[in-house]
Amino acid sequence: MPDGKGVMQKSNGDYYEGTFKNGLKHGFGWEKFTNGDFYKGQYINGLPEGIGEYNWKDGASYKGDFKQGLRNGYGL
């Protein structure tokens, strides 16, 4: 189980670079998804949590608070 800084590439092509704790994304990092979306910000226990920025491939973006992977408690 990785701890500290590292890189993870999933079999579907999603790519994460940042910090890990007990094998989960935890702390600051960024993630590029195969669908063209991009997230940069805080993670807790593998999910976006705290301040972050999500950019959709169509150019739309959201900067703000995330809780358990959702923006302000709502879906992405």
Tell me the CA distances in angstroms from 54 to 11, 15, 22, 23, 27, one per residue in order.
22, 15, 24, 23, 16
Q: What is the pLDDT of residue 13?
A: 96
Q: Which of 16, 38, 47 is nearest to 29 (CA)?
A: 16
CA 40/CA 63 separation, integer angstroms: 10
Report pLDDT digits (tens) over 9-62.
999 999 999 999 999 999 999 999 999 999 999 999 999 999 999 999 999 999
List, in sequence order, the alpha helices (H) in 1-76. none
Whether 76 has a pLDDT exceeding 70, the answer reads no
Q: Identify which has the larger pLDDT, 56 or 1.
A: 56
